[in-house]
Amino acid sequence: MLNEFFPEIPKIPYEGPDSRNPLAFKYYQPKKKVGDKTMEEHLRFSVAYWHTLTGTGGDPFGVATNLRPWLSITDPMAQAAARMRACFEILEKLDVPFFCFHDRDIAPEGATLRETNRNLDTIVEQARELIASTGKKLLWGTACLFAHPRYVHGAATSCNADVYAYAAAQVKKAIEVTHSLGGQNYVFWGGREGYDSLINTDMGLELDNLGRFLHMAVDYAKEIGFTGQFLIEPKPMEPTAHQYDSDVEACLNFLRKYDLLPHFKINIEQNHAILAGHTYQHEIYTARINGVLGSLDANEGAFLLGWDTDQMATNLYEAIFPLYEVLKAGGLAPGGLNFDAKLRRGSFEPDDIFIGHVAAMDTYARALEVAHRLLESRELEDFVQDRYASYRDGIGAKIVRGEVGFKELEAYALEHDQITNRSGRREMLEAIVNRYL
Ligand code: XUL
Ligand code: CO
Protein backbone atom coordinates (compact mmCIF):
# COMPACT_ATOMS: atom_id res chain seq x y z
CA MET A 1 0.00 0.00 0.00
CA LEU A 2 1.16 3.56 -0.76
CA ASN A 3 2.47 5.19 2.43
CA GLU A 4 4.50 8.25 1.45
CA PHE A 5 2.58 11.33 2.56
CA PHE A 6 0.51 10.21 5.54
CA PRO A 7 2.75 7.68 7.34
CA GLU A 8 0.84 8.15 10.61
CA ILE A 9 -2.50 7.22 9.00
CA PRO A 10 -3.22 3.49 8.76
CA LYS A 11 -5.66 1.88 6.37
CA ILE A 12 -8.93 2.96 8.00
CA PRO A 13 -10.36 -0.02 9.90
CA TYR A 14 -13.99 -0.84 10.58
CA GLU A 15 -14.54 -0.73 14.35
CA GLY A 16 -18.34 -0.57 14.55
CA PRO A 17 -20.80 1.92 16.06
CA ASP A 18 -19.28 1.82 19.56
CA SER A 19 -15.86 2.97 18.38
CA ARG A 20 -14.66 6.38 19.53
CA ASN A 21 -11.84 6.48 16.99
CA PRO A 22 -12.32 9.28 14.42
CA LEU A 23 -10.08 7.32 12.05
CA ALA A 24 -12.29 4.21 12.04
CA PHE A 25 -15.54 3.40 10.28
CA LYS A 26 -18.56 3.00 12.53
CA TYR A 27 -20.98 2.01 9.73
CA TYR A 28 -19.24 1.72 6.35
CA GLN A 29 -18.43 -1.90 5.51
CA PRO A 30 -17.82 -2.11 1.77
CA LYS A 31 -18.74 -5.78 1.46
CA LYS A 32 -21.82 -5.64 3.68
CA LYS A 33 -25.01 -6.46 1.79
CA VAL A 34 -27.84 -3.94 1.87
CA GLY A 35 -30.62 -5.60 -0.08
CA ASP A 36 -29.20 -7.20 -3.20
CA LYS A 37 -26.01 -5.12 -3.42
CA THR A 38 -23.04 -4.41 -1.19
CA MET A 39 -22.54 -0.98 0.34
CA GLU A 40 -19.64 -0.45 -2.03
CA GLU A 41 -21.83 -1.27 -5.04
CA HIS A 42 -24.61 1.04 -3.89
CA LEU A 43 -22.51 3.99 -2.87
CA ARG A 44 -19.62 4.09 -5.39
CA PHE A 45 -17.76 6.71 -3.33
CA SER A 46 -15.40 9.10 -5.05
CA VAL A 47 -12.83 11.63 -3.81
CA ALA A 48 -12.95 15.06 -5.50
CA TYR A 49 -9.41 15.99 -6.54
CA TRP A 50 -10.02 19.75 -6.56
CA HIS A 51 -11.04 19.96 -2.93
CA THR A 52 -9.02 17.17 -1.40
CA LEU A 53 -5.75 17.45 -3.29
CA THR A 54 -5.65 20.87 -4.97
CA GLY A 55 -7.74 22.91 -2.51
CA THR A 56 -5.81 25.35 -0.37
CA GLY A 57 -8.23 26.30 2.38
CA GLY A 58 -8.27 29.89 1.11
CA ASP A 59 -11.60 31.73 1.03
CA PRO A 60 -12.63 35.18 -0.29
CA PHE A 61 -11.49 36.72 3.01
CA GLY A 62 -8.30 34.87 3.73
CA VAL A 63 -5.31 33.03 2.36
CA ALA A 64 -4.52 29.32 2.28
CA THR A 65 -4.48 27.42 5.57
CA ASN A 66 -4.18 23.77 4.49
CA LEU A 67 -1.04 21.99 5.65
CA ARG A 68 -0.22 19.45 2.96
CA PRO A 69 3.01 17.43 2.74
CA TRP A 70 3.44 18.02 -1.01
CA LEU A 71 3.41 21.81 -0.70
CA SER A 72 7.12 21.88 0.18
CA ILE A 73 7.87 20.78 -3.42
CA THR A 74 8.31 23.98 -5.42
CA ASP A 75 8.58 22.69 -9.01
CA PRO A 76 4.95 22.75 -10.29
CA MET A 77 5.17 19.48 -12.23
CA ALA A 78 6.96 17.68 -9.39
CA GLN A 79 4.31 18.97 -7.00
CA ALA A 80 1.54 17.78 -9.36
CA ALA A 81 3.12 14.33 -9.51
CA ALA A 82 3.33 14.22 -5.71
CA ARG A 83 -0.35 15.21 -5.43
CA MET A 84 -1.31 12.37 -7.74
CA ARG A 85 0.61 9.86 -5.58
CA ALA A 86 -1.05 11.36 -2.50
CA CYS A 87 -4.45 10.96 -4.15
CA PHE A 88 -3.95 7.23 -4.55
CA GLU A 89 -2.62 6.92 -0.99
CA ILE A 90 -5.83 8.58 0.22
CA LEU A 91 -8.02 6.34 -1.96
CA GLU A 92 -6.27 3.22 -0.70
CA LYS A 93 -6.34 4.18 2.97
CA LEU A 94 -10.00 5.20 2.84
CA ASP A 95 -10.99 2.24 0.66
CA VAL A 96 -12.65 4.66 -1.77
CA PRO A 97 -12.86 3.09 -5.25
CA PHE A 98 -13.14 6.24 -7.41
CA PHE A 99 -11.78 9.73 -7.91
CA CYS A 100 -12.84 12.70 -10.09
CA PHE A 101 -10.84 15.62 -11.45
CA HIS A 102 -10.83 18.73 -13.61
CA ASP A 103 -7.94 18.76 -16.10
CA ARG A 104 -6.32 21.73 -14.34
CA ASP A 105 -6.55 20.14 -10.89
CA ILE A 106 -4.08 17.47 -11.82
CA ALA A 107 -1.56 19.36 -13.98
CA PRO A 108 -0.57 23.03 -14.18
CA GLU A 109 -1.16 25.23 -17.21
CA GLY A 110 1.89 25.95 -19.36
CA ALA A 111 2.71 29.08 -21.36
CA THR A 112 0.83 27.76 -24.41
CA LEU A 113 -2.04 25.34 -24.96
CA ARG A 114 0.44 22.85 -26.44
CA GLU A 115 2.60 23.00 -23.32
CA THR A 116 -0.49 22.71 -21.10
CA ASN A 117 -1.51 19.57 -23.00
CA ARG A 118 1.98 18.14 -22.58
CA ASN A 119 1.86 18.76 -18.82
CA LEU A 120 -1.50 17.02 -18.69
CA ASP A 121 -0.23 14.04 -20.69
CA THR A 122 2.68 13.57 -18.28
CA ILE A 123 0.44 13.42 -15.20
CA VAL A 124 -2.19 11.33 -16.97
CA GLU A 125 0.51 8.77 -17.78
CA GLN A 126 1.37 8.64 -14.08
CA ALA A 127 -2.33 8.30 -13.16
CA ARG A 128 -2.69 5.45 -15.65
CA GLU A 129 0.13 3.55 -13.91
CA LEU A 130 -1.36 4.18 -10.47
CA ILE A 131 -4.80 3.04 -11.66
CA ALA A 132 -3.24 -0.15 -13.01
CA SER A 133 -1.29 -0.90 -9.84
CA THR A 134 -4.03 -0.07 -7.30
CA GLY A 135 -7.28 -1.00 -9.12
CA LYS A 136 -8.75 2.43 -8.35
CA LYS A 137 -10.98 3.98 -11.01
CA LEU A 138 -11.91 7.32 -12.53
CA LEU A 139 -15.58 8.09 -11.89
CA TRP A 140 -15.49 11.16 -14.11
CA GLY A 141 -13.28 13.74 -15.66
CA THR A 142 -14.12 17.31 -16.56
CA ALA A 143 -12.50 20.49 -17.84
CA CYS A 144 -11.96 23.61 -15.77
CA LEU A 145 -13.53 26.27 -18.01
CA PHE A 146 -13.90 28.93 -15.35
CA ALA A 147 -10.70 29.70 -13.39
CA HIS A 148 -8.41 31.26 -16.03
CA PRO A 149 -9.02 34.94 -16.97
CA ARG A 150 -9.69 33.92 -20.60
CA TYR A 151 -13.00 32.51 -19.34
CA VAL A 152 -14.05 35.78 -17.71
CA HIS A 153 -17.18 35.91 -19.92
CA GLY A 154 -17.79 32.16 -19.95
CA ALA A 155 -16.51 29.40 -22.24
CA ALA A 156 -19.12 27.79 -24.52
CA THR A 157 -21.30 30.84 -23.84
CA SER A 158 -18.54 33.44 -24.16
CA CYS A 159 -19.16 36.50 -26.33
CA ASN A 160 -15.70 35.82 -27.83
CA ALA A 161 -15.47 33.11 -30.51
CA ASP A 162 -11.74 32.62 -29.87
CA VAL A 163 -12.61 31.66 -26.30
CA TYR A 164 -15.28 29.27 -27.59
CA ALA A 165 -12.67 27.57 -29.80
CA TYR A 166 -10.16 27.36 -26.94
CA ALA A 167 -12.83 25.82 -24.69
CA ALA A 168 -13.64 23.28 -27.42
CA ALA A 169 -9.97 22.34 -27.66
CA GLN A 170 -9.79 21.97 -23.89
CA VAL A 171 -12.91 19.80 -23.65
CA LYS A 172 -11.75 17.67 -26.60
CA LYS A 173 -8.52 16.98 -24.73
CA ALA A 174 -10.31 16.38 -21.41
CA ILE A 175 -12.64 13.82 -23.03
CA GLU A 176 -9.61 12.08 -24.58
CA VAL A 177 -7.88 11.98 -21.19
CA THR A 178 -11.01 10.72 -19.41
CA HIS A 179 -11.40 8.04 -22.08
CA SER A 180 -7.76 6.98 -21.85
CA LEU A 181 -8.05 6.53 -18.07
CA GLY A 182 -11.21 4.42 -18.36
CA GLY A 183 -13.41 7.20 -16.94
CA GLN A 184 -17.00 6.03 -16.53
CA ASN A 185 -18.59 9.46 -16.97
CA TYR A 186 -17.73 12.95 -18.18
CA VAL A 187 -19.20 16.00 -16.42
CA PHE A 188 -20.17 19.43 -17.73
CA TRP A 189 -20.69 21.82 -14.87
CA GLY A 190 -21.41 25.24 -16.38
CA GLY A 191 -18.58 27.10 -14.66
CA ARG A 192 -19.30 30.59 -16.02
CA GLU A 193 -21.99 29.55 -18.51
CA GLY A 194 -24.54 32.15 -17.50
CA TYR A 195 -24.65 35.92 -17.16
CA ASP A 196 -23.92 38.62 -14.65
CA SER A 197 -26.37 41.04 -16.29
CA LEU A 198 -28.74 40.90 -19.24
CA ILE A 199 -27.78 44.46 -20.12
CA ASN A 200 -24.78 43.21 -22.12
CA THR A 201 -25.91 39.65 -22.94
CA ASP A 202 -27.36 37.91 -25.99
CA MET A 203 -28.95 35.05 -24.08
CA GLY A 204 -30.43 33.42 -27.20
CA LEU A 205 -27.08 33.18 -28.98
CA GLU A 206 -25.27 32.02 -25.84
CA LEU A 207 -27.72 29.17 -25.28
CA ASP A 208 -27.68 28.15 -28.96
CA ASN A 209 -23.88 28.11 -28.82
CA LEU A 210 -23.94 25.95 -25.70
CA GLY A 211 -26.27 23.53 -27.49
CA ARG A 212 -23.88 23.40 -30.46
CA PHE A 213 -20.90 22.88 -28.15
CA LEU A 214 -22.49 19.90 -26.41
CA HIS A 215 -23.39 18.34 -29.77
CA MET A 216 -19.73 18.68 -30.80
CA ALA A 217 -18.78 16.86 -27.58
CA VAL A 218 -21.27 14.06 -28.32
CA ASP A 219 -19.95 13.73 -31.88
CA TYR A 220 -16.34 13.68 -30.78
CA ALA A 221 -16.95 11.09 -28.05
CA LYS A 222 -18.54 8.87 -30.68
CA GLU A 223 -15.62 9.41 -33.02
CA ILE A 224 -13.04 8.26 -30.44
CA GLY A 225 -15.20 5.49 -28.99
CA PHE A 226 -15.77 7.07 -25.56
CA THR A 227 -18.91 5.38 -24.25
CA GLY A 228 -18.90 6.92 -20.76
CA GLN A 229 -22.03 8.76 -19.64
CA PHE A 230 -22.16 12.51 -20.28
CA LEU A 231 -23.53 14.42 -17.29
CA ILE A 232 -24.68 17.99 -16.78
CA GLU A 233 -24.35 19.37 -13.27
CA PRO A 234 -26.96 22.02 -12.48
CA LYS A 235 -26.32 25.04 -10.27
CA PRO A 236 -28.47 28.18 -10.14
CA MET A 237 -25.90 30.87 -9.39
CA GLU A 238 -22.27 31.43 -8.42
CA PRO A 239 -20.00 32.40 -10.01
CA THR A 240 -22.50 34.09 -12.36
CA ALA A 241 -25.70 35.73 -11.14
CA HIS A 242 -27.68 33.30 -13.28
CA GLN A 243 -26.23 29.97 -14.40
CA TYR A 244 -28.01 28.58 -17.47
CA ASP A 245 -28.11 25.01 -16.07
CA SER A 246 -29.92 26.30 -13.02
CA ASP A 247 -31.68 23.16 -11.80
CA VAL A 248 -32.73 19.73 -13.03
CA GLU A 249 -35.87 21.04 -14.70
CA ALA A 250 -34.00 23.82 -16.49
CA CYS A 251 -31.47 21.24 -17.71
CA LEU A 252 -34.27 18.97 -18.94
CA ASN A 253 -35.78 21.84 -20.91
CA PHE A 254 -32.40 22.75 -22.39
CA LEU A 255 -31.57 19.16 -23.31
CA ARG A 256 -34.97 18.64 -24.93
CA LYS A 257 -34.84 21.91 -26.87
CA TYR A 258 -31.43 21.10 -28.33
CA ASP A 259 -32.09 17.38 -28.96
CA LEU A 260 -29.48 16.38 -26.43
CA LEU A 261 -31.67 14.37 -24.07
CA PRO A 262 -30.60 10.96 -25.43
CA HIS A 263 -26.96 11.78 -24.69
CA PHE A 264 -27.01 13.31 -21.21
CA LYS A 265 -27.96 12.54 -17.64
CA ILE A 266 -27.68 14.78 -14.60
CA ASN A 267 -25.09 15.02 -11.83
CA ILE A 268 -26.91 16.43 -8.82
CA GLU A 269 -25.19 18.26 -5.98
CA GLN A 270 -26.81 18.91 -2.61
CA ASN A 271 -25.41 22.42 -2.20
CA HIS A 272 -26.52 23.41 -5.71
CA ALA A 273 -30.01 22.05 -5.02
CA ILE A 274 -30.46 24.18 -1.93
CA LEU A 275 -29.06 27.27 -3.67
CA ALA A 276 -31.81 26.69 -6.26
CA GLY A 277 -34.38 26.72 -3.47
CA HIS A 278 -34.94 22.97 -3.70
CA THR A 279 -34.11 20.04 -1.51
CA TYR A 280 -31.54 17.47 -2.65
CA GLN A 281 -34.35 14.95 -2.66
CA HIS A 282 -36.44 17.16 -4.96
CA GLU A 283 -33.69 17.32 -7.55
CA ILE A 284 -32.97 13.58 -7.42
CA TYR A 285 -36.69 12.78 -7.50
CA THR A 286 -37.15 15.06 -10.54
CA ALA A 287 -34.26 13.34 -12.30
CA ARG A 288 -35.59 9.91 -11.37
CA ILE A 289 -39.08 10.42 -12.77
CA ASN A 290 -37.59 11.84 -15.97
CA GLY A 291 -35.05 9.04 -16.39
CA VAL A 292 -31.99 11.28 -16.11
CA LEU A 293 -30.51 10.44 -12.71
CA GLY A 294 -26.81 10.09 -13.49
CA SER A 295 -24.59 10.72 -10.49
CA LEU A 296 -24.40 12.60 -7.20
CA ASP A 297 -22.05 15.23 -5.84
CA ALA A 298 -22.56 14.54 -2.16
CA ASN A 299 -21.91 17.54 0.02
CA GLU A 300 -23.86 19.86 2.27
CA GLY A 301 -24.53 23.56 2.01
CA ALA A 302 -24.93 25.76 5.05
CA PHE A 303 -28.64 26.51 5.24
CA LEU A 304 -28.00 29.99 6.65
CA LEU A 305 -25.50 31.06 3.99
CA GLY A 306 -26.34 31.90 0.39
CA TRP A 307 -23.27 30.41 -1.21
CA ASP A 308 -21.66 27.13 -2.15
CA THR A 309 -19.89 26.09 1.04
CA ASP A 310 -19.39 22.47 -0.14
CA GLN A 311 -19.24 21.02 3.36
CA MET A 312 -18.58 17.36 4.08
CA ALA A 313 -21.99 15.68 4.38
CA THR A 314 -22.43 14.65 8.00
CA ASN A 315 -26.11 15.35 8.55
CA LEU A 316 -27.67 11.88 8.72
CA TYR A 317 -31.25 12.98 8.24
CA GLU A 318 -30.40 14.99 5.11
CA ALA A 319 -28.71 11.95 3.54
CA ILE A 320 -31.62 9.53 3.95
CA PHE A 321 -34.10 10.79 1.36
CA PRO A 322 -31.52 11.30 -1.40
CA LEU A 323 -30.56 7.63 -0.98
CA TYR A 324 -34.23 6.63 -0.75
CA GLU A 325 -34.60 8.14 -4.24
CA VAL A 326 -31.45 6.41 -5.48
CA LEU A 327 -32.81 3.05 -4.28
CA LYS A 328 -36.13 3.74 -5.98
CA ALA A 329 -34.25 4.60 -9.17
CA GLY A 330 -32.43 1.26 -9.05
CA GLY A 331 -28.98 2.67 -8.28
CA LEU A 332 -26.44 5.15 -9.57
CA ALA A 333 -24.05 3.15 -11.75
CA PRO A 334 -22.23 4.13 -13.88
CA GLY A 335 -22.54 7.24 -11.73
CA GLY A 336 -21.42 7.35 -8.15
CA LEU A 337 -21.34 9.43 -5.04
CA ASN A 338 -18.59 12.02 -5.33
CA PHE A 339 -17.59 13.94 -2.22
CA ASP A 340 -17.48 17.36 -3.88
CA ALA A 341 -16.72 18.69 -0.43
CA LYS A 342 -13.99 20.68 1.21
CA LEU A 343 -12.92 20.66 4.78
CA ARG A 344 -13.67 23.82 6.73
CA ARG A 345 -10.86 26.37 6.59
CA GLY A 346 -10.20 25.67 10.23
CA SER A 347 -9.77 21.93 9.62
CA PHE A 348 -6.37 22.34 8.03
CA GLU A 349 -4.29 19.44 9.33
CA PRO A 350 -3.49 16.57 6.97
CA ASP A 351 -5.38 13.97 9.03
CA ASP A 352 -8.56 16.09 8.67
CA ILE A 353 -8.70 14.76 5.09
CA PHE A 354 -9.27 11.26 6.50
CA ILE A 355 -11.44 12.31 9.44
CA GLY A 356 -13.71 14.29 7.08
CA HIS A 357 -14.11 11.51 4.54
CA VAL A 358 -14.67 8.86 7.21
CA ALA A 359 -17.41 11.04 8.72
CA ALA A 360 -19.12 11.52 5.35
CA MET A 361 -18.75 7.87 4.29
CA ASP A 362 -20.23 6.71 7.59
CA THR A 363 -23.10 9.20 7.19
CA TYR A 364 -23.98 7.80 3.77
CA ALA A 365 -23.47 4.18 4.86
CA ARG A 366 -25.84 4.63 7.77
CA ALA A 367 -28.30 6.63 5.68
CA LEU A 368 -28.27 3.84 3.09
CA GLU A 369 -29.29 1.29 5.71
CA VAL A 370 -32.03 3.58 7.04
CA ALA A 371 -33.32 4.33 3.53
CA HIS A 372 -33.30 0.66 2.61
CA ARG A 373 -35.23 -0.42 5.73
CA LEU A 374 -37.70 2.40 5.23
CA LEU A 375 -38.31 1.47 1.61
CA GLU A 376 -38.55 -2.26 2.38
CA SER A 377 -41.13 -1.59 5.09
CA ARG A 378 -43.28 0.22 2.51
CA GLU A 379 -44.68 2.36 5.33
CA LEU A 380 -44.32 5.55 3.27
CA GLU A 381 -44.95 3.83 -0.05
CA ASP A 382 -48.23 2.30 1.10
CA PHE A 383 -49.43 5.57 2.55
CA VAL A 384 -48.70 7.43 -0.68
CA GLN A 385 -50.30 4.71 -2.76
CA ASP A 386 -53.42 4.85 -0.64
CA ARG A 387 -53.48 8.65 -0.82
CA TYR A 388 -53.94 8.46 -4.59
CA ALA A 389 -56.38 5.53 -4.53
CA SER A 390 -59.09 7.66 -6.18
CA TYR A 391 -57.15 7.44 -9.47
CA ARG A 392 -57.30 3.64 -9.58
CA ASP A 393 -60.97 3.23 -10.34
CA GLY A 394 -64.07 5.24 -11.18
CA ILE A 395 -63.57 8.73 -12.56
CA GLY A 396 -59.90 8.80 -11.47
CA ALA A 397 -59.06 5.76 -13.58
CA LYS A 398 -60.79 7.40 -16.55
CA ILE A 399 -58.65 10.55 -16.06
CA VAL A 400 -55.47 8.49 -15.93
CA ARG A 401 -56.45 6.52 -19.04
CA GLY A 402 -57.16 9.76 -20.90
CA GLU A 403 -60.78 8.81 -21.48
CA VAL A 404 -62.43 12.04 -20.31
CA GLY A 405 -62.28 15.76 -21.10
CA PHE A 406 -63.65 18.87 -19.41
CA LYS A 407 -67.25 18.14 -20.51
CA GLU A 408 -67.30 14.64 -18.98
CA LEU A 409 -65.60 15.94 -15.83
CA GLU A 410 -68.13 18.75 -15.53
CA ALA A 411 -70.97 16.24 -15.81
CA TYR A 412 -69.32 14.15 -13.07
CA ALA A 413 -68.66 17.18 -10.81
CA LEU A 414 -72.26 18.33 -11.08
CA GLU A 415 -73.31 14.98 -9.60
CA HIS A 416 -70.44 14.80 -7.04
CA ASP A 417 -70.02 18.33 -5.71
CA GLN A 418 -69.97 17.44 -2.00
CA ILE A 419 -66.26 16.73 -1.63
CA THR A 420 -64.51 14.87 1.20
CA ASN A 421 -60.71 15.10 1.59
CA ARG A 422 -58.47 13.12 3.93
CA SER A 423 -55.54 14.29 6.04
CA GLY A 424 -52.06 14.23 4.48
CA ARG A 425 -50.67 13.09 7.88
CA ARG A 426 -47.28 14.69 7.33
CA GLU A 427 -46.41 14.69 11.04
CA MET A 428 -47.39 11.05 11.41
CA LEU A 429 -45.12 10.12 8.50
CA GLU A 430 -42.20 12.15 9.85
CA ALA A 431 -42.58 10.35 13.17
CA ILE A 432 -42.49 7.04 11.27
CA VAL A 433 -39.21 8.05 9.63
CA ASN A 434 -37.76 8.87 13.07
CA ARG A 435 -38.41 5.28 14.16
CA TYR A 436 -35.93 4.11 11.50
CA LEU A 437 -33.02 6.36 12.53
C1 XUL B 1 -18.81 23.80 -8.57
C2 XUL B 1 -18.85 22.33 -8.67
C3 XUL B 1 -17.82 21.74 -9.55
C4 XUL B 1 -18.28 20.59 -10.36
C5 XUL B 1 -17.28 20.08 -11.34
O6 XUL B 1 -19.78 24.33 -7.76
O7 XUL B 1 -19.65 21.67 -8.05
O8 XUL B 1 -16.72 21.42 -8.78
O9 XUL B 1 -18.66 19.52 -9.54
O10 XUL B 1 -16.87 21.06 -12.23
CO1 CO C 1 -20.06 19.61 -7.96
pLDDT (tens digit per residue) in 85-111 = 999 999 999 999 999 999 999 999 999
Q: Is the distance from the beta carbon of residue 245 to the nearest atom of ligand 1 less than 6 Å?
A: no
Q: Under the phi-then-psi rule, with left for phi > 0, alpha for psi from -120 to 50, and beta for the rest, what region is 135?
A: left
Q: Is the distance from the beta carbon of residue 340 to the nearest atom of ligand 1 less than 6 Å?
A: yes
- Summarize pLDDT for 166-182 with one digit per residue, the tens: 999 999 999 999 999 99
Confirm whether 282 is a catalytic residue.
no
CB 187 within 8 A of CB 138: no
pLDDT given for residue 368 in this prediction: 98
C-alpha span between 161 and 229 (Å, rounded) = 27
Rounded to the nearest angstrom, the distance between the alpha carbon of 122 and the centre of ligand 1 is: 24
- Summarize pLDDT for 24-53 with one digit per residue, the tens: 999 999 999 999 999 999 999 999 999 999
For the full predicted model, state whether its pTM sits above 0.95: yes
Q: Which residue puts its alpha carbon closest to atom 2 of ligand 1?
A: 189
Choosing from 102, 179, 278, 357, the catalytic residue is 102
In 217-246, which positions are buried (b, 16+ CB within 10 angstroms) versus exposed (e)?
bbeebeeeebebbbbbbbbbbeebeebbbb
pLDDT given for residue 255 in this prediction: 98
Atom of ligand 1 nearest to the CA of 269: 7
DSSP for 92-127? HHHT--EEEEEHHHHS---SSHHHHHHHHHHHHHHH
Residues in the chain, pLDDT under 70: none
